[in-house]
A and B are shown apart, each in its own frame.
Chain A
Amino acid sequence: MFGLKFLAVMRRDLKKLMRNPVTLLSVIMMPILYLVIIGNSFQGQLKHLPIVVVDQDHGLYARRIVEQMLALQAGPKTVDITFENDPGAAMNEVRDGLFKGVVVIPPDFSHAVAEGRIAQIGLFTDNVDEISSETLEGALDQAAATVKIAFVTAREPKLNEISLRPNWLFPYVDYDRSLIPGVIVMAIFMGSLMSGVFNWVMDQFMGVTEGYLVTPLSRWDIAGGILASGVTVTSTAGVLVLFLGLLITRGRILGGPVALAMLVGIIVISATGLLAMTFALLGRAGHPRLVGTFAGFLNVILFFPSGAIYPVESFPPWLRAFAHVNPETHSVSAIKQILFKGADFAAVSGDIAFLLVFMVLTLVIASFSFKRTM
């Protein structure tokens, strides 16, 4: 029988959670820290890549290449240049990890350019560090292109040049801001683990549960109360993270109060689904340590394939298939569309339908797996 007694269980759980502000704060602050750390470690141009330039030509075009590279050093600070004469020694220094690459301008480079022959510059990179290597290639391409364009311009008109003018459909979203949906979902996930199922398993472990099982509380009262307190705490954490994230990244919600209401709704549905899921998976865990262990594992396997960090389209087919049934993917997708695109209900109805089905399914499984007896 599901009566109002579940409110007493909820009150008890909420009071207990409120008396642990460190736990509550960590549910909010940890995802925010993730936002700051991931935002700053995954994005941005590489800078100060140490490279060696060996100019064996010293001709006009070699000087232009070197000037372009010095400009990269002075302007965007992509590279830190050291000049050397011996290409062999320079390559050994790359092997030793002192430099990220060597640029070798061969002796007849300027002549070749001037005569219209194929002129090549050698770039030897530490390709183990693929990202640095690709950045260096890009930088050198840019330097070489400048020389080539100048050269081409002098001899023939730019008849076939095609220019691309990008047009954005939506307001600019930088990488930091683009992480907000993922960070909200992470806060929901962490809240769902730290409130609902963890409290239940810990109470059982401490023997506290026995005192409640001898009262007239039904299993629905107990499960409902724990779930309700978990949803309250977790949803509040999710909404706070939304606002803090927007504050940090100086963003705003497109679509005003209606969009905000939809966002809160999605947060509540996601929180309920994830709480029920963790109950279904861990409600019968024999030890709180199991909850802790699985928490880290579940967080990784649900968060990273959710499209929060990198687009789902880039995944291999098997991971893409998993992402499509991952509730966090749909939460991230719905929040992203409403928050950044000002999408209406119809645009996110697919994601919301998935989240609702997931919520109902996990609630049913959790209710079956929840035991009232010892």
Chain B
Amino acid sequence: MEPESPAIQTKDLTKRFGAFTAVDKVSFEVRRGEVFGLLGPNGAGKTTVVRMLTTLLTPSEGRATVAGFDVARYPRQVRENIGVIPQALTSDLDLTGWENVDIYGEFFGLSRRQRRERGHRLLRMVGLDERAGDLVATYSGGMRRRLEIARGLIHSPEVLFLDEPTIGLDPQSRRAVWDLLETLRRESEITISLTTHYMDEAESLCDRIAIVDGGKIIALDTPTGLKSMVPGSDRIDLVVEKNPEAIAEMLRPMPYLRGVNLDGGNRLQLSANDGAHAIPKVIEAVDGAGGRVTSITVQKLSLEDVFIHFTGRTLRDEPAKKVSLLVGAGMPQHR
């Protein structure tokens, strides 16, 4: 890969399944060494984007390069340079932890010595060195996920794709996976593409986040940048001694506020672009109007608020999946 070329680049990337467009002209770039998040509700098209980038699905239109290689024209070169941790747990239950890592290394053409050196180091890194000789069937879900991260790194890939890596894990296991990714980010130059619908995960791990919905990217920025895209991104909770209606009327025209709402009793909820600077002005205005502030707090908008702002509150029903009349549900769907 050229030093300055992006780790991932897509241009109008599109995937259609029959009449259904799962991914619609998606374009973005991921810099080398960046942790890039794809955040979106279920069925938004995140996994389909990742599957095209990891050569599991062929794009219907558009173009994508990973580690400098076109995914449609050079799929083998792409696979040689990526590590993938799919959403489903894909480690072999009938093999030991070590065998899973070792055989996976063989798939990438690593020598026995390379596999031994890297495999043991990675298993130590994910905290599984003492259980490496046990069958994976005896592992918990969290242990399997950590093993798969080690397995996905055995060939030192340039880009690591993680698709919902903490889904279904208990809080301790989630934290362990996060710590692992933090370590990776800190200690290597690897580029990480993280697909998730956990806001806290995206916020704490990702340098930049693309919010995907309906197969399109509807916002892309750093977590802070995304929050600032929402007008009135700071929320001020104000409690006054009396006359909340009159005070609300008085505050509404103030230029430093984006919104004023009564919140029951003597409470008011205000929104502002810069909450910290707005607070003294609000107190001064209330005092000037003969009122008295009982309490006032400011809090930043969470990423979840941003997410809801961009994607709305409507529940998403995923498009109907094909179920064969002849064999029933059959294989898990690959959309």
A-to-B contact residues, CB < 8 Å? 3, 5, 7-9, 11-12, 15-16, 19-20, 204-218, 221, 285-287, 289-290, 373-374
* CB within 8 Å for A214 and B104 given contacts A15-B94, A290-B327, A374-B51: no
Residues on B with beta carbons closer than 8 Å to the beta carbon of A16: 92, 94-95
Residues on A with beta carbons closer than 8 Å to the beta carbon of B86: 207, 210-211, 214
Establish whether residues B94 and A207, one from each chain, have CB atoms under 8 Å apart when the complex forms. no
Establish whether residues A216 and B56, one from each chain, have CB atoms under 8 Å apart when the complex forms. no
Establish whether residues A287 and B331, one from each chain, have CB atoms under 8 Å apart when the complex forms. yes
Cα A286 to Cα B107 in complex, Å, equals 26
Residues on B with beta carbons closer than 8 Å to the beta carbon of A209: 90
Candidates B56, B57, B84, B90; contact of A208 at CB < 8 Å? B90
Establish whether residues B88 and A210, one from each chain, have CB atoms under 8 Å apart when the complex forms. yes
Cα A374 to Cα B17 in complex, Å, equals 13
B24 touches A (CB below 8 Å): no
Establish whether residues A374 and B107, one from each chain, have CB atoms under 8 Å apart when the complex forms. no
Cα A308 to Cα B328 in complex, Å, equals 36
Cα A216 to Cα B76 in complex, Å, equals 5
Candidates A7, A210, A218; contact of B56 at CB < 8 Å? A210
Candidates A5, A211, A218; contact of B91 at CB < 8 Å? A211
B99 touches A (CB below 8 Å): yes
Nearest residue (CB) in B for A20 is: B94
Establish whether residues A208 and B107, one from each chain, have CB atoms under 8 Å apart when the complex forms. no
Candidates B58, B94, B109, B332; contact of A373 at CB < 8 Å? B58
Residues on B with beta carbons closer than 8 Å to the beta carbon of A9: 107
Residue among A8, A16, A204, A285 with most chain B CB within 10 A: A8
B188 touches A (CB below 8 Å): no
Cα A3 to Cα B327 in complex, Å, equals 36
Nearest residue (CB) in B for A289 is: B327
Residues on B with beta carbons closer than 8 Å to the beta carbon of A214: 54-56, 79, 82, 84, 86
Nearest residue (CB) in A for B328 is: A287
CB proximity of B99 to chain A, nearest CB, Å: 6
CB proximity of A204 to chain B, nearest CB, Å: 6
Nearest residue (CB) in B for A209 is: B90
Residues on A with beta carbons closer than 8 Å to the beta carbon of B89: 207
Q: Which of B67-110 contact A (CB under 8 A)?
A: 76, 79-80, 82, 84, 86, 88-92, 94-95, 99, 103-104, 106-109
Residues on A with beta carbons closer than 8 Å to the beta carbon of B91: 208, 211
Q: What are 26 A-B residue pairs whose CB atoms fall within 8 Å in the complex?
A: A5-B109, A7-B106, A9-B107, A12-B103, A15-B94, A19-B95, A204-B331, A207-B332, A208-B91, A209-B90, A210-B56, A211-B86, A214-B56, A215-B104, A215-B107, A215-B108, A216-B76, A216-B79, A216-B107, A216-B108, A221-B107, A287-B331, A290-B327, A373-B55, A373-B57, A373-B58
Candidates A15, A204, A215, A373; contact of B99 at CB < 8 Å? A15
Q: What total of chain B residues lie within 8 Å of the partner, measured CB to CB?
A: 37
Nearest residue (CB) in B for A9 is: B107
Nearest residue (CB) in A for B109 is: A5
Cα A79 to Cα B324 in complex, Å, equals 58
Establish whether residues B106 and A216, one from each chain, have CB atoms under 8 Å apart when the complex forms. no
Cα A204 to Cα B104 in complex, Å, equals 17
Establish whether residues B103 and A11, one from each chain, have CB atoms under 8 Å apart when the complex forms. yes
Cα A3 to Cα B106 in complex, Å, equals 12
Q: Which of B159-184 contact A (CB under 8 A)?
A: none
Cα A208 to Cα B148 in complex, Å, equals 11
Chain A residues touching B, majority SS: helix
CB proximity of A126 to chain B, nearest CB, Å: 45
CB proximity of B86 to chain A, nearest CB, Å: 5
Establish whether residues A5 and B331, one from each chain, have CB atoms under 8 Å apart when the complex forms. no
Candidates A15, A207, A213, A289; contact of B88 at CB < 8 Å? A207
* CB within 8 Å for A374 and B57 given contacts A287-B327, A287-B331, A290-B327: yes
Residues on B with beta carbons closer than 8 Å to the beta carbon of A217: 107
5 closest Cβ contacts across the A-B interface?
A: A286-B330, A211-B90, A207-B88, A8-B106, A214-B84
Cα A289 to Cα B324 in complex, Å, equals 14
Residues on B with beta carbons closer than 8 Å to the beta carbon of A221: 107
Nearest residue (CB) in B for A293 is: B327
Residue among B54, B82, B330 with most chain A CB within 10 A: B330
Residues on A with beta carbons closer than 8 Å to the beta carbon of B324: 286
* CB within 8 Å for A210 and B90 given contacts A12-B103, A205-B331, A287-B331: yes
Establish whether residues A15 and B95, one from each chain, have CB atoms under 8 Å apart when the complex forms. yes
CB proximity of A287 to chain B, nearest CB, Å: 5
CB proximity of B241 to chain A, nearest CB, Å: 61
Residues on B with beta carbons closer than 8 Å to the beta carbon of A213: 55-56
Cα A216 to Cα B54 in complex, Å, equals 11
Residues on B with beta carbons closer than 8 Å to the beta carbon of A286: 324, 327, 330-331
CB proximity of B136 to chain A, nearest CB, Å: 11
B135 touches A (CB below 8 Å): yes
Cα A290 to Cα B108 in complex, Å, equals 33
Cα A8 to Cα B91 in complex, Å, equals 15
Establish whether residues A373 and B92, one from each chain, have CB atoms under 8 Å apart when the complex forms. no
Residues on A with beta carbons closer than 8 Å to the beta carbon of B80: 216
Nearest residue (CB) in B for A12 is: B103
* CB within 8 Å for A11 and B92 given contacts A214-B84, A286-B330, A374-B56: no
Establish whether residues B56 and A215, one from each chain, have CB atoms under 8 Å apart when the complex forms. no
Nearest residue (CB) in B for A214 is: B84
CB proximity of B192 to chain A, nearest CB, Å: 15
CB proximity of A18 to chain B, nearest CB, Å: 9
B313 touches A (CB below 8 Å): no
Residues on A with beta carbons closer than 8 Å to the beta carbon of B109: 3, 5, 216
B334 touches A (CB below 8 Å): yes
Extra A-B contacts (15), CB below 8 Å, given A15-B94, A16-B95, A216-B76: A3-B109, A9-B107, A15-B99, A19-B94, A209-B90, A210-B56, A210-B86, A211-B86, A211-B90, A211-B91, A211-B151, A214-B82, A287-B331, A374-B56, A374-B57
